[in-house]
Structure 1
Amino acid sequence: MARIDLINVGKTLRDRDRAGPGDGAALPGRGSFSIRNLTLTVPDGQTMAVLGPSGCGKTTLLKIIAGLIPPDSGEVRYDGSDVKNVPPGDRRLGMVFQNYALYPHLKSRTNVLSYFLFRKKTPEMDAMARAKFQRTSELMGVELADLLDRRPPTLSGGEKQRVALGRCITRDAALFLVDEPFANLDQALREKYRVNLKILLRQFAITTVYVTHDHHEALILGDLLAIMDRGRIEQVGTCQEIYDEPANVFVAGFLNLHIGTPPISFLDARHLPRGESLGNVRVGVRPEEVEVSGAERENGIRGVIAGTLGLPMRNATALTARVGEHEVHAQTAGAVSLRPGDPVWLTFKRYHVFEKASGRRVRSYPEP
């Protein structure tokens, strides 16, 4: 396996060099995008899910790790060794990118085993190929087996993705680099393959960098999350660490553990519930930390219900209240009798305080 270190990595590419719409952070008016002074460590045997919006530089980051794009500055290290002069083919990588790069004239079975196709044929290598293929088939099931005798031009985008993922698994890889491999699959297959891939990564403890804009996917697959925005890593940690202690306004507003509801509400400091004088700050509170009452409460913030939405799958109700010029989102158990226009009082069980100018989190009440 391998530990991966990126140390102060920088890369600027012109639009003409950009391979796709997700390949980097745009620099307005300059026809280029960049990754700037990026430092990141992927521990040996763990999966780092790099989560960020489209265009933030996730795919460019993967290509730098793979050696497909050389950095302009900084270092990429595998197990402490700088790999600047190590070509991609010698880095023991298994890669699945959004473009599948399958051999069109070969059957899918041969594509899956293409790593062994270019190795010296020996009984030991043949046995390894059979074992790898058997394990891959078990993990991916009938959805792969049905494709093995067909060639890539006859496959749909989702089917090509399955073959590309199978090829990645069969390689003698120390590092997996994975770029949204389930994007073209239907929902049922996507959920199944996420679980199967998680089992594979845990069983073989393969160091993996997995980039996605899908929160649900990142939460399922990542041992650690790296939140990325505009060519920068904003925060690294476990999902719960980042959710409980977001580094800044962007992270707090981006990471959402409860898909389908707003991640956080922001208010100016004048709405701080406890009356502290903290200067020019913003307060952020998550929906599950907001208590809503139709009766006046001490230290409560008065608002007016703007809308409600039943969440029957969770036996809950999502509410939105207007507080001055701000909206505060809340989630309560069961049904509620409140209607738009009703007055309410909001109390916060926990909230975060951010500097208004920099967006940096100053503190949280109460601390976890």
Structure 2
Amino acid sequence: MSTTNKRAYNFNAGPSALPLEVLEKAQQELVNYNGSGMSIMEMSHRSKDYDAVHNEAIARLKKLFSIPENYEVLFLQGGASLQFTMVPMNFLTEGKTASYVLTGSWSEKALKEAKLFGQPVEAASSKENKYRNIPALNDIKFNADDAYVHLTSNNTIYGTEWVEFPDTGDVPLVADMSSDILSRPVDVSKFGIIYAGAQKNLGPSGVTVVIIRKDLLEKANTNIPTMLKYTTHADSNSLYNTPPAFGIYMLGEVLKWVENQGGLEAVQKRNEEKAKLIYDVIDSSNGFYKGHATPESRSLMNITFRVADEELEKKFLAEAKEAGFVGLNGHRSVGGCRASAYNAVPVETCKALADFMVEFQNKNQ
């Protein structure tokens, strides 16, 4: 039985909304997967049933995201936060520099971790503008002998997103795509490494996807702990140790759902429609609502804004909660409001928020 009528208007920033039909399928298969008499969580990760789930998820991601043949897809753990460490540990070798583009808190954290392994530098930053925008491509400065250039493709806290990516030539471009992966088509061949925590657009928390060009694996540092080597996981098809099996199963089901939506072009079109519903309310509110991001850098995934004054903002968030909206508080570091409209958030949920915002303004201006 569908539980649609009991579902919250879920704008959580992560872990975030999952497609209802995926949750319902998982519910049906939870205690007896594929006639095995076991849950996917109970069976050996070396079994034929799990092996099929694992490899199908990899194949489906490669097809859906148009990943070229010269890339490996890895399923790891530790979230994007561990990748902040693994990337420099594997590639920021002695005598090398790396360039980081700062667009928010997560890129700052990535840079901080890299400093433990070498001398990374800022390639560009929008910090002076309170991270309201993505730096212009011609403002990004890096060195031809850098180990890599790192960026965060979407910034959940500040609500900004890269529309176009820099061409770094022979220097590998590394992207943390945790919060907008699979929200639109991307030319994967522009990147040396793409990594993403699953808990926004890919599935539940616990899985980290890494897409890495094979030639980089040959250049990676070997004098580091086994579990922190990309080659360890590439050589074992991400089965060196027990993987997060249920999370990978769920990721595979979410990928099927994305396919059923019409693929990434259709998903992007729907995401643009959802974001426009809310941005249009902000833009037509005569300053009652104030967006944080500059229009050319606005995120389709995280819509950040403030209400006219602090007391009204508290009232807005309280009344929104009463009306069934979840997760609209801005990140604790910046406050304000944030609507995270990831792939699985329905158009109807964004329409409901837009209507609520208009009604709230009409009653309180």
TM-score (norm 2): 0.22
Of structures 1 and 2, the larger Rg is shown by: 1
User: Whose strand fraction is larger, Structure 1's or Structure 2's?
Assistant: 1
Name whichever structure is richer in helix by fraction: 2
What is the TM-score normalised by the length of structure 1?
Answer: 0.22
